[in-house]
Amino acid sequence: MSEQTSSPEDTTGMRTLAWLLTQIRVSRPRMAAVSALAVLATVGTLATPIILGAATNVIVDGTTGPVGAESGAMDWDLLWTLIVAAAAIYLISYVCTLTQGLLLTTTVQLSIARLRAKVSELIPRVPIGFTESTKRGELMAKATTHIDNATTVLGPLFVSLPTNLLTAVFTTVVLFWISPLLAAIILLSAPVSAVAAMVVAKRAKPNLTRQWQATSSLSGSFEEELTARQMLKAYEADDLVRERFTTLNDTLFSSMRSAQWTAGTLAPALTCMNAIVYLILAVVGGVQVINGDLSLGAAQVVVVFASQLAGSVKELAGFLPRIQSGAVSAGQVRDLLQTPAESDPAVDAAELPVSPEGPPRIEFDNVGFGYDPGARVLHEVSFSMPPGTTTAIVGTTGSGKTTLTSLLQCFYTPDSGSIRINGTDVTDLGRAGTRSMIAAVAQEPWLFTGSVGDNVAYGLRETDDQSDAGARELALAEAIVDSHVGQIVSVLPEGLDTTVGNDGGNLSAGELQLVTVARAIAAQPRILVLDEATSSADPRTELLIQRALLRLRSRTTTLLVTHRLATAALADQIVVLEGGRVVECGTHRDLIAAGGSYAQRCERDRQEDVSDVASRTRGARRASYDETPTQVLGRINTTVPWE
């Protein structure tokens, strides 16, 4: 993913923020109301000093008399009118500020919710390769932290920017009306402030970009450390993790320090400049008041407006670093949302194609595929899987076994050749149509945080027969019984309601796998994909898994990936892959008789009595599966890895 968030000319990131506004679809009436209320509050803030200046003149005239005249009577009616008017304006300004704050908060939170909804809608539609090749910490940061930070600029954009611009323009006009000389003195600092702000913004942007990159990397590091906590403890790798954390933390510290130091130099510089302006203003203004060229009330208005103008210029200057930080985050969110979606995403399928019931016939016809251009993983792979049979895929690590299962599940599209189910190309069936027939049990079991029952029910699919809660409960119960999960949950403290997660909780790795098998049974698939489904189980749990899978395989067309030759020997046919090519295909007996690579591997590893076990268990396939799975699996105690 590109880290470029805006063009080189887009120093302030305004183009990126313009894109952000088009994505969150801010309600124009709502934001217009927010801006209008903010402007009204600002107008009240600006009008009050003028009224109080007039009240000061009334008091001065009432005590000393007008300039050049004797002391006169105090005009109490006018004085109280001005005081009440100032109090009313303060109250109205407070109500406007409070209302616009509430509206703005609601708008910002709605914007965050919309952006997160867009990300949530995108993730099921992006290719599997994108999520596998992108660091999880970066994805999490873009979907959470960057969205929150990007939307924080809405307040400055719709409130601070218009109100400070209004304050700057209004105070400048009034100052020139009161005293052009004093106004010119005050405005001397404006060009210097603008130049200083642009310099600071240009220097701060690279540091802000590095800061957010380091934040994403640190989040990813924490996520990986928590996920692999047990493995890190086993290898005593805490020192390595600490060193990695220290490096990332130092990078984040350095970037944050540089960014904040650069942005922090602006405020002291402007404060020093304003102090010099106030000094000159006090001397010149005092002389004008003494000479009678300026009333005391007017001088008071000048001082207050000079302070407000300096504050507005300072806030506008400090606005740029905040805009840039938001623009960096908005650029990260834009990179994520502009990720190309896969063609024909399964989540968008209107309806599933109607296909015949029962296990289908599957054909791989000259399939070629590579994850990267020019680096093929599979080369002209061809074989057929008759309906209701089991095909075992064996081969060395990296030969393309798991890639075949990914292609069958439409996670990737073949670069050449085709995969057909009952004579129909999977690209014509669509991703949703193909996956609706498939249940997969992978080598690494994955459970969502929730109860055991919820994880099994995740495999249930809505059909006409399961549209009511009662039918779904019955299907869930059948899956639990057929998978032997009941033997596990019976000893759990809350049974099926026991909360588990991907870390397993009270369940072993094999028991976690058994729950995923129950999920596959609940899906009632026509195609079963098993990728080293029993590699992490202990002997007892492996027996339960094998019994459940044998029952499920009896009514599906099964693609079995395994390193265990004893398991492969039970398949109806065995496909041997080497270097992404099919080098042998046939039954266990045929391959042994052929004396090829499969037979050589069996002989080289001295697998004892594989041929005898296979010959005694082939027989009547349905009878061996249904009648004596315990005896069959009990005899298969040799687990020779194909490596």
DSSP annotation of 159 reads I
- Which two tokens mark 252? 């984040």
Choice among 17-31, 277-291, 604-618 with the minimum mean pLDDT: 604-618
- Predicted confidence at residue 3, as pLDDT, reads 42
Q: Taking CA 607 as the corner, what is the angle to CA 601 and CA 613, rounded to the nearest 5 degrees?
A: 115
Map out the domains of the chain with their CATH numbers: 14-337 (1.20.1560.10), 362-635 (3.40.50.300)
Checking if the pLDDT of 333 tops 80, the result is: yes
Through-space distance between the first and last CA atoms of the chain, rounded to whole angstroms: 35
Which one has a higher pLDDT value, 374 or 611? 374
| Percent of the chain topping pLDDT 90 | 5
DSSP state letters, 358-405 = SPPPEEEEEEEE-SBTTB-SEEEEEEEE-TT-EEEEEESTTSSHHHHH
Residue 469 pLDDT > 80, yes or no? no
DSSP classification of residue 156: I
What would the mean pLDDT of 340-361 be, rounded to a whole number? 69
Contact partners, residue 26, CB within 8 Å, separation at least 6: 107, 111, 154
68: pLDDT strictly greater than 80: no
**pLDDT higher than 50, residue 642:** no
For the stretch 452-464, pLDDT in tens is 888 888 877 665 4
- Least confident among 72-86, 541-555, 574-588: 541-555
Q: Kindly report, residue by residue over 503-529, the tens digit of the pLDDT.
A: 656 677 777 888 888 888 888 888 989
- 617-626: burial string, b at 16+ Cβ within 10 Å, e else: beeebeebbe
Q: Which residues are bridge partners to 576 per DSSP?
A: 394, 584
Upper half-sphere CA count for residue 32 (Cβ side, 13 Å) = 3
Q: What is the mean pLDDT of residues 220-245?
A: 71
Decide if pLDDT at 468 tops 70.
no
115-129, 217-231, 358-372, 394-408: segment of lowest average pLDDT: 217-231
Question: How many CB atoms lie under 10 A from the CB of residue 123?
Answer: 14
Average pLDDT over residues 21-49: 78
Query: Three-state secondary structure along 440-471?
Result: EECCCCCCCCEEHHHHHHCCCCCCHHHCCHHH
Tens digits of per-residue pLDDT, 554-612? Answer: 788 989 888 877 778 888 899 999 888 999 999 888 888 888 888 887 776 654 544 44
Other CB atoms within a 10 A radius of the CB of residue 117 amount to: 10
The rounded distance, in Å, linking the Cα atoms of 600 and 158 is 75
Q: Which tokens hold the place of 76?
A: 């109490």
CB crowding 86-102: b at 16 or more within 10 Å, else e: beebeeebeebbebbbe
**Eight-state DSSP code of residue 436:** T
For residue 192, the Cα-to-chain-centroid distance in whole angstroms is 42
DSSP 575-607: EEEETTEEEEEE-HHHHHHHTSHHHHHHHHTT-
Under 8 Å CB-to-CB from 423, ≥6 apart: which residues? 361, 363
The predicted pLDDT at position 363 comes to 93
pLDDT digits (tens, 9 = 90+) for 271-286: 777 778 778 877 887 8
Q: How many C-beta atoms lie closer than 10 Å to residue 21's C-beta?
A: 16
SS3 for 302? helix
What is the average pLDDT across 5-21? 62
Mean pLDDT confidence for 98-124: 82
Average pLDDT, the chain: 76
Q: Which two tokens stand for residue 43?
A: 């107008």
Summarize the confidence of residues 232-249 as an average pLDDT: 75
Interaxial angle between packed helices 14-24 and 76-122, expressed in degrees from 0 to 180 and rounded to the nearest 10: 80
